[in-house]
Amino acid sequence: MIEIDQISKVYDGKAAVDAVSMTVETGTITVIVGTSGSGKTTLLRMINRLEEPTSGEVRINGVVTTSMPGHILRRRIGYAIQGHGLFPHHTVGRNIGAVPQLLGWSKEKTRARVDELLDLFSMDPAQFRDRYPAELSGGQQQRVGVARALASRPDLLLMDEPFGALDPIIRARAQTDLRRIQRTLGSTIMLVTHDMEEAIHLGDRVAVMDGGQLVQHGTPAEIIQNPATAFVADMVGGVDRPLRLLSLIAVADIVEDGPATGTPIAAEASLRDALSACLWSGRDALPVTRGDAIIGRVTLPAIRAQAQATA
Ligand SMILES: Nc1ncnc2c1ncn2[C@@H]1O[C@H](COP(=O)(O)OP(=O)(O)OP(=O)(O)O)[C@@H](O)[C@H]1O
């Protein structure tokens, strides 16, 4: 568990981060979202002490971060930034193995970890381990950057706009990948973005910053349904609220008995995906599968009823 306790940073008499407190549960993703200058990056960098707080403290699993030298702390906390920050003259394998090597892991253990991570990120180790960053696409470089930050199984992974440089299609894919990998490894992640869509898509919890203050901290559904301030409401936007809410509900939640034909949809898919599939294929019901079995159907009227009930 990460406890941020009344942390502030004052520059030139002005608070860039103003008495922020929040708790992050182990094995979850918290997304810190806000406009430019709201203090997101400063907050993140105080957690691994790239910035020293003016006041307040951070505890990781009960241990105050100031109880050890900053560089030792940072070996235990992964850090991934926009533009990935890979070492250009080192191979992918050496890049990913950098922190394990610093921590004194054996060559075999480091190599096994590098290959395991490349596999997880859908990059064939034999093909990619010995390449240099310049020989990779932007999306591949970004994946290696995240793999490197995860290599030593850090207590916490901090990510600052990690997908900022990716085009929107790769970006959505990168988010889905991160979610899958985070679930597989059980990592604890704090990620900064200015994109509320990304926050809602990725976060178990979303923390909204405005003018250095934490104005709301809750689940994506809470943020959308009960924005705490006009600013949060503005960031969430009113227009496609029902659609956003549908993206938070699984097909499994409203599956019913009855016939349906055509390409099925998975029970874990969202109602937003189900709605698109209905509209795209002109059907008013889709068969629903779990694994290989059909477990029922989802209907257009039921999806619409959900959108109206939660809007
Ligand atoms: N080293 C510094 N010296 C003085 N002021 C700073 C320093 N770093 C940040 N600030 C100020 O603190 C405020 C918060 O900056 P911060 O970078 O944390 O915001 P942000 O929400 O991450 O913004 P962005 O999305 O643009 O990166 C800004 O007003 C910024 O100008």
pLDDT of residue 238: 52
133: DSSP letter? G
Report the candidate in 289, 225, 199 with the shortest Cα–Cα distance to residue 251.
289
Q: How far is 104 from 97, CA to CA, in rounded Å?
A: 11
Q: What is the mean pLDDT of residues 251-263?
A: 94
Q: How far is the CA of 194 from the centre of ligand 1 (A)?
A: 13
* Strand 63-64, strand 55-60: pairing: antiparallel
222, two tokens: 């809470």
CA–centroid distance, 71 to ligand 1, in Å, is 22
Pocket mutation for ligand 1, best pick of 11, 191, 209, 235 (most atoms within 8 Å of C-beta): 11
Distance CA 199, CA 269 (A): 18
**200 or 241, which is more confident:** 200
Give the DSSP letter string of 224-293: HHS-SSHHHHHHH-STTHHHHHHTTSBGGGG-BSS---SS-EETTSBHHHHHHHHHHHT-SEEEEEETTE
Rounded to whole angstroms, how far apart are CA atoms 29 and 189? 5
147 Cβ contact partners less than 8 Å away, ≥ 6 residues apart: 96, 117, 118, 120, 121
Q: Which residue has the tokens 């406890």?
A: 3
Domains of the chain (ranges; CATH) run 2-237 (3.40.50.300), 243-310 (3.10.580.10)
Output the ligand 1 site: residues, CB below 6 A. Answer: 11, 16, 34, 36-42, 194
* Mean pLDDT lowest among 91-95, 148-152, 161-165, 252-256: 161-165
Alpha-carbon distance of 260 to 258, in angstroms, equals 7
Residue 298: its H or E element: strand 293-299
39 CA to centre of ligand 1 in angstroms: 6
Decide if 190 contacts 80 (C-beta within 8 A).
no
d(CA 29, CA 109): 27
Encode pLDDT of 150-182 as tens digits: 888 888 999 999 888 777 667 777 888 888 888
pLDDT of residue 124: 93
**Beta strands 2-11 and 14-24: pairing type?**
antiparallel
Substitution candidate for ligand 1 out of 40, 44, 160, 213 with most atoms within 8 A of CB: 40
- pTM greater than 0.80 (yes/no): no
Which ipTM value was assigned to this complex?
Answer: 0.93
Ligand 1 atom at minimum distance from 45 CA: 18
What is the C-alpha R_g of the chain?
Answer: 21
pLDDT digits over 268-303, tens only? 998 988 988 887 777 889 999 998 899 999 999 999
Outline where the chain has alpha helix (H).
40-47, 70-75, 92-96, 98-102, 107-120, 125-128, 138-150, 168-185, 196-202, 220-225, 230-236, 241-246, 271-281, 300-310
Q: How far is CA 200 from CA 23, 195, 235, in A?
A: 18, 9, 11
Contact predicate 144/84, CB 8 Å: yes
* pLDDT in the model for residue 45: 95
Distances (CA, A) of 187 to 109, 179, 204: 20, 10, 12
Q: Rounded CA gap, 96 and 232, in Å?
A: 37
Residue 239 — very low, low, confident or very high, per pLDDT cuts 50/70/90? very low
Q: Which residues pair with 57 in a beta bridge?
A: 5
Pocket test for ligand 1, best of 17, 38, 215 (most atoms within 8 A of CB): 38
